[in-house]
Copies of this chain bind each other. A is one copy, B any other.
Amino acid sequence: MKNKKISIKDIASELGVSVTTVSFVLNNKAEEKRISKEVTKKVLAYVEKVNYKPNSLAQSLRTGKSKVLVCMLEDISNDFFAKLARHIEDIAYQKGYKILFCSNDNDDEKSIELIDLFLERQVDGFLLTPSPNLQPKILELKKRNIPVVLLDRFFEKENFNYVGIDNEEASKLGVEHLLENNYKKIGFISIDMNQTQMSARLLGFDEAINKHQLYAQKLILKAKDSSEEKINQIKLFLNDHSDLDSILFSTNYLTFLGLKALKENDPKRLNELGIISFDDNSFFEICKPSITTLKQPLDKIAKEAMRIMFKNLDSNSTVNAEMINLKTELKLRESTQLINNN
């Protein structure tokens, strides 16, 4: 008599008790609801006998726990986010949680629509890279006691859970590594995203340049421009500043465009320039020259984010928000050891 399609109604009818009674027993509320031990035992024995599998959506609507988490990232097709997603997914599965992914394209409307969709469908928590004005929606989630952990960027004035790297320190590490390898005229190529991680990378760069009194030039590309336009601007920048001996790129995506610009325009200079990139990527190992990177510890970011998520899920009361800034690791490769300038 094993039938997965059996319902609570069937169980109640078979045992001559009410649906509510069965529901209380199945949701561990028998004692609280003063169901007799005899009835409780009868229900549990029958449920085991018929191998009753509760509909998990119905169950989640009752218990308020779906064991489903949402991971909403800026762009799931970007290697950095795709790899981070993978680490998060692996931890979730180990803990018996399923995880759903989506991209918000750093767009508020898309973010809000997606969050609303998931809220209606009962999910337990959100890990997300917030779009620029998502604070009100996150506050709404907080009020509803739904845990949220921000990734990669945060809001200066809000007290939300967040896991990322110390971006300012990472930029300084990059500049100081270049300096140690005798690079002294450093370019910085970044993008005009109004995001905390991008501002911090720029700030850290400026501070390190000032501290060591180095020569620097900066190019801040427009996010809305096409890749082709960005490549052309990088070419112009490199031509205009032929005195630069090294470049720090603020994301792996920009490094890719920069390598393409150099390969197309001036392959010789590609071998002479010191190059260092935020975010590691397996292809940076096999490029020629292989590229030195400021590697974000994706495994640790995922681990910390999930630790905070589970701490919040396990708690019945409000938990203080945590802001975690992890250290970046320098992956030393050929691109910063090619020549000794002076």
Q: Residues of A at under 8 Å CB distance from B?
A: 55-57, 68, 75-79, 82-83, 85-86, 89, 93, 98-103, 110, 113-114, 116-117, 120-122, 256, 259-260, 263, 281-283, 285-288
A119 closest partner in B (C-beta)? B57
CB pair A120–B86 under 8 Å, yes or no, is no
CB pair A288–B287 under 8 Å, yes or no, is yes
- Among B100, B110, B120, B282, which residue has its beta carbon within 8 angstroms of that of A102? B100
Q: A82-B79, A86-B76, A103-B86 are in contact. Are A68 and B283 (CB under 8 A)?
A: no
A157 to B191, CA, bound (A): 51
A121 to B53, CA, bound (A): 16
A110 to B96, CA, bound (A): 11
A207 to chain B, nearest CB (A): 31
- The winner among A56, A75, A263, A288 for most chain B CB atoms within 10 A is A288
Report the 6 A-B pairs with minimum CB-CB distance, sorted nearest first: A77-B86, A288-B288, A283-B283, A57-B120, A101-B101, A77-B82
A243 to B239, CA, bound (A): 44
Question: What are 26 contact pairs spanning A and B, CB under 8 A?
Answer: A55-B120, A56-B116, A56-B120, A75-B86, A76-B82, A76-B86, A76-B101, A77-B82, A77-B86, A78-B82, A82-B82, A86-B103, A89-B102, A89-B103, A98-B114, A98-B117, A100-B100, A100-B102, A101-B101, A121-B122, A256-B282, A256-B286, A263-B285, A283-B283, A287-B287, A287-B288
